Amino acid sequence: MNNPGFIRIIFFTLKIVLVYVLYLVLNVYIDGNPFSFLAYPWDAPIASSIFVGFIISIIINVAKSKKQKNNYY
């Protein structure tokens, strides 16, 4: 349980879940669609563009952290 890799995996999973919940909330409140767990991105352009932006930022952060980790060795 004290493994830092395990904690990073938990936080990464929580980030993905929170981003998906934010996508569903934006899908309902901004795009005005009825609530559904299987909301299609083409039915909610605003929510999907924000969702894609968050996913890209997470990918960039992971790539930066891996690059910084590799520079130390």
Q: Where are the domains of the chain?
A: 4-71
- pLDDT band of residue 72 (cuts 50, 70, 90) is low
pLDDT of residue 29: 83
Sign for the pseudo-dihedral over CA of 44, 46, 49, 55: negative
Q: Is 63 helix (H, G, I), strand (E, B) or coil?
A: helix
Burial of 70 (0-12, 13-18, 19+ CB in 10 A): exposed
32-71 residue pLDDT tens: 878 777 777 777 787 778 878 888 888 888 888 777 766 6
pLDDT of residue 1: 56
pLDDT of residue 33: 78
Burial of 55 (0-12, 13-18, 19+ CB in 10 A): middle
Q: What distance in Å separates the CA atoms of residue 35 and residue 41, rounded to the nearest whole number?
A: 13
